[in-house]
Amino acid sequence: MNELRVICTDCGREFKNLKSGVLIKELFQKNKEVYRVWMADLLGCPRCGRVVVARFADNPIAEHWNKEKMADVLLQCETRTLGKDLFEWKEYVPEKQKEGKNEKH
């Protein structure tokens, strides 16, 4: 099985692993509540410093429908007993769309 390779679109360099096993909170878009919590890796470009999250686990470690498990995982995240960094997965808007909103036609 081939390993997922992530290449920087700005530099053309392969991303390097910065930290394995970071936690990602995937949020509902409407109310910003936690939908799922994932484990993934933090990768960085050695040339320009761009950072991405990639190589997600096959399954989330908690989901919104299991309130008890979700509460336990979020408590562990807050108290750092999982010992991992925590990031939020927010709604993605491409930079070109952001720029386009500011332009007057």
Digit-by-digit pLDDT tens for the chain (105 residues) are: 567 889 999 999 999 999 888 888 888 877 778 888 888 888 999 999 998 888 888 999 999 999 999 998 888 777 654 445 666 665 444 455 445 554 443
Report the candidate in 68, 76, 71, 65 with the shortest Cα–Cα distance to residue 28: 65
Q: Whole-model pTM? A: 0.67
- Within 10 Å of residue 21's Cβ, how many Cβ atoms? 13
Domain spans, the chain: 16-102
